Structure 1
Amino acid sequence: MCGGRGTRLDSDVEKPLYQIGGRPMLDRVRGALADSHIEAVSHVVSSHTLQTRDHLDHDVIEAPGDGYVADLQYALERSDPPILTVATDLPLLDGAAVDRVLDRHDTGSLTVAVPAACKRRLGVSIGTTMAVDGETVAPSGINIVAEDGEDETIVIDDERFAVNVNHPSDAAVAEALLQ
């Protein structure tokens, strides 16, 4: 998912092209997927990310740009489940982390969440939260969407899933953790 403008980053570049450690976040996530057991990747862009679309060389789905959920739904309607969805703002993701999610999937959809306490400990922003087994958690930005089976939420206390870069302060944390 690479269709967001990144207005909260207060940058002149689109969010997927925002650099962490000298590389666009999009390229970092693409590298993680390439280093995982994923066999095929499609990039969901929008009218808000024309430079990102130009940065990509293939496998692009052009969504309407009506927001993350609407664009995700648009892409899902054009794909065959199960589908791993990954937000571009996870620059610490690596192949082993992606495979950890894939290994946890059996059937149904899988939501990966991180403890809100982990995000607070790291000093990164916390958006949406929910309760899982009495613990306050935040969606990580990586999920598996399937048509059949029971839906499951797993909680992983791991900085690779916890650092979503939405603000300059989040970018600073990601930069520090890459050192």
Structure 2
Amino acid sequence: MCGGRGTRLGGETEKPLVPIDGTPMFDRAAAALRESRVDTVYAVVSPNAPETAAHARERGVPTVETPGEGYVEDLECALGEVGRPVVTVAADLPLLAADHVDDAIAAARRDEAGCEDDAFDSVTVCVPAALKRRLGASADSTFECEGRELAPTGLNVVSDAPDDTVRITYDARLAVNVNRPDDAELAEDLCD
């Protein structure tokens, strides 16, 4: 998912193309996905990020065009194009690694007797909001789950399953979504 404007970051660079440790966030997320068990990587783009769409195509990543009306609306549009199950990743997650993606896929795979190999549950990977605050990362979206305040990481498995499983991780790399200049600085620091 890389069609956002990135207005909170400021500057002229589209959010997915903001470099972290010299590499655009888009390239970092795409590399993690390519190194994972994911079969095909798509860039979900919108009219809000035309340079990101061109960047993706230059790197051989097929694009899915969405209207740019918001994350949920664009996700639904993309799901209509690529189908389910699918791993979704926000491009503003620059410290994503292949093992994060593979762990989410493993958590989503149904282990019930008699299930097909391609049967998956939906999974939302979250971190404790307290971890984001302790690191100094922005925590724009949080929710309560079993008495704990959690923040979605931007890594999900979306399937046709009726329920969504919440998977909690304490990995600081997944606690940093780059939404503001301070988040970019934190991501840079964690790259070291």
| TM-score of the superposed pair, with normalisation by structure 1 | 0.97
Structure 1 counterpart of 2:73, which letter?
A
| Partner deviation per Cα, 1:70-127 (whole Å, 9 max, x = no partner) | 1111101112211100000000001111111111112321111110011011100001
Cα distance in 1 for partners of 2:163, 2:33 equals: 25
1:60-99 equivalences under 5 Å are 60-99=63-102
The question of whether the paired residues in 2 share the 8 Å contact of 1:61 and 1:75 is answered with yes
The question of whether the paired residues in 2 share the 8 Å contact of 1:44 and 1:62 is answered with yes
- 1:152 pairs with 2:137: no
Q: Secondary structure at the match of 1:138?
A: strand
Residue among 101, 104, 107 paired with 2:104: 101
Number of residue-to-residue matches in the alignment: 179
Which position in structure 2 is the counterpart of 1:46? 46
Which position in structure 2 is the counterpart of 1:31? 31
Structure 2 counterpart of 1:177, which letter?
L
**Deviation (angstroms), 1:11:** 1.5
Which position in structure 2 is the counterpart of 1:125? 138
**Deviation (angstroms), 1:151:** 2.1
**Deviation (angstroms), 1:14:** 0.2
Identity level (%): 46
Which position in structure 2 is the counterpart of 1:18? 18
The question of whether the paired residues in 1 share the 8 Å contact of 2:93 and 2:174 is answered with yes
**Deviation (angstroms), 1:149:** 5.2
Cα distance in 1 for partners of 2:139, 2:163 equals: 27
- Structure 1 residues 22-31 or 148-157, which shifts more? 148-157
Structure 1 counterpart of 2:56, which letter?
L
- 1:137 pairs with 2:150: yes
Cα distance in 2 for partners of 1:98, 1:52 equals: 22
Cα distance in 2 for partners of 1:108, 1:33 equals: 19
Residue among 153, 166, 169 paired with 2:182: 169
| TM-score of the superposed pair, with normalisation by structure 2 | 0.90
The question of whether the paired residues in 2 share the 8 Å contact of 1:97 and 1:160 is answered with no
After superposition, the CA RMSD in angstroms is 1.0
5+ residue gaps in structure 1?
Answer: none
The structure with more radius of gyration: 2
**Deviation (angstroms), 1:148:** 2.6
5+ residue gaps in structure 2?
Answer: 110-119
